[in-house]
Structure 1
Amino acid sequence: MNDEVKRAYSSPLREQAALQTRLLVREAGHRLFTRDGFVATSIRRIAAEAGVSERTVYTHYRNKVEIFQDALNVAIAGDEEPVAMRDRPEFEEVLATPSARDLLGELVRRNAVVQERAGALIMAGIESAGADADMRRISDEGERAMRANCLALAEALVATGEVRDGFDAAAVADVLTTMLSPHVHQVLGWPADRYHDWLAGTLEASLLAQRG
């Protein structure tokens, strides 16, 4: 009986400790990948950065690719739920915004948040894609997801009737895919508020018909 009680109480504690250790490893990987690149980052360095043993790292991840993928997924989404951005309620909320300017404003606001969390990590993957097949796969998957999301957003923008003449959904998606990319965010290197204001104004001027 006492053993059963101990197990009932200790299991949640062990689970919490395991989750905390996984978090430490993931955050350590995120820091090193963005600072030093994927190729230069080893499991040994991640373990040292996290303050754990290499063996402990391997109890949570099979290799550094899994660490990178987990760190990237969490950075993009902002949580650990295994739900793609396109399938999240907040994405549907943006699509349902009736005004094109309000839709763009909400899109830019959310994109700025994602770029602050994940932009540098996305770029680390892209920069390593030429030297590592797994990074090429992850980068290609990210680009396809980005294009699909931008096409859905473009269709919603066109449906408002406020898009400039000559821009169909495919052309709007081209602009969104380019302007919302981590490349632009990284090259500019601006503070979040300046980046947000510039991107909102540029997309409005590029895509929406003039008022009046």
Structure 2
Amino acid sequence: MGEVKEPSARRPYRSAVREENARRTRRAIVSAAGPLFVERGYAATSLAEVARAAGVARPTVAAAFGSKPALLRQILNEALAGDDEPVPVAERPWFAPVWQAGTAGEVLDAYAGICTLIGRRAARVFETVRRAADSSAEVAELWATAQRNRRAGAEMVVRRAAGFGALRPELGPARAVDALWTLNDPALYGALVLDSGWPEDDHRRWLAGQMRTAVLADDR
């Protein structure tokens, strides 16, 4: 009698076409919801309205994201990162100039450019999250996470600049992070570029100068 073998475990079926369709659907929902949340307000926009704008059924939105706060989180994350790929900020090509800089001043110049880029993509969404945080505990946590992430980014840049030994001695690392965290706020881009009409390049140069003055012992 032949040996009895355990039936082999079945591998879960995965369809590349199905996965790509699901991703396209998620992208369509994010693309539709972002402008609605920004223009009408988060609280005033229903998932049914998002579904209509995206050309899908309301249950599809719920199935794709689970909840309205989760959808807002995805919109913010994609606005900050520029796409939906799970790649850390420090490893993204647009962050590379910080690592390639050869002086503390160049580090901050590069970071000012990055903050300008992020402001272009995310300033209005960031403001939408800030306003919605007052009326939703889940969005309040999203806002708190965004603030922590901004501070973590400032800390990473300060450490990089400090490697050149050029920080203001009276500040100390923690206050240098505080200063840079204040200046990397997308709200500055919103106020100066979107609301006051500054050209982006003027904003980038101004921000770089403010960062150098706030953090560096000398302007190098």
Q: TM-score range, shorter-chain basis?
A: 0.7 to 0.9
1:120 lines up with 2:128 in the alignment: no
1:28 lines up with 2:36 in the alignment: no
| C-alpha contact 1:24 1:50 (8 A) present in aligned 2 | yes
Q: Map 1:111-190 onto structure 2 (within 5 A).
A: 111-188=115-192, 189=194, 190=198
Q: Map 1:1-212 onto structure 2 (within 5 A).
A: 11-86=15-90, 88=91, 90=93, 91=95, 94-95=98-99, 97-188=101-192, 189=194, 190-210=198-218
Distance in structure 2 (CA, Å) of the matches to 1:85 and 1:210: 28
Aligned residue type for 2:216:
L
Could you list the per-position Cα deviations for residues 79-115 of structure 1 after superposition, in whole angstroms to 9, with x for gaps in the alignment? 22223425x2555762563301110111111111111
Could you list the per-position Cα deviations for residues 1-27 of structure 1 after superposition, in whole angstroms to 9, with x for gaps in the alignment? xxxxxxx9xx44333332222111011
RMSD value, Cα: 2.4
Distance in structure 1 (CA, Å) of the matches to 2:218 and 2:160: 18
Could you list the per-position Cα deviations for residues 116-144 of structure 1 after superposition, in whole angstroms to 9, with x for gaps in the alignment? 11121111111111111111000001111
Distance in structure 1 (CA, Å) of the matches to 2:152 and 2:39: 29
Distance in structure 1 (CA, Å) of the matches to 2:32 and 2:115: 24
**Identical counterparts, % of pairs:** 28
Aligned residue type for 1:123:
E
| C-alpha contact 2:97 2:107 (8 A) present in aligned 1 | no
Distance in structure 1 (CA, Å) of the matches to 2:166 and 2:176: 12
Aligned residue type for 2:186:
P
Could you list the per-position Cα deviations for residues 45-85 of structure 1 after superposition, in whole angstroms to 9, with x for gaps in the alignment? 10121122212222312121121111111111122222342
Greater shift, 152-161 or 105-114, is seen at: 152-161
| C-alpha contact 2:32 2:50 (8 A) present in aligned 1 | yes
In structure 1, stretches of 5+ residues that fail to align are: 1-7
| C-alpha contact 1:164 1:209 (8 A) present in aligned 2 | yes
| C-alpha contact 1:154 1:170 (8 A) present in aligned 2 | no
Aligned residue type for 1:114:
I
| C-alpha contact 1:111 1:180 (8 A) present in aligned 2 | yes
Q: Return the TM-score normalized by structure 2.
A: 0.82
| C-alpha contact 1:125 1:139 (8 A) present in aligned 2 | yes
Greater shift, 14-23 or 113-122, is seen at: 14-23
3-state SS of 1:164 partner:
coil
In structure 2, relative to structure 1, the CA distance for the partners of 1:78 and 1:36 (3 Å cut) is: same
In structure 2, stretches of 5+ residues that fail to align are: 1-12
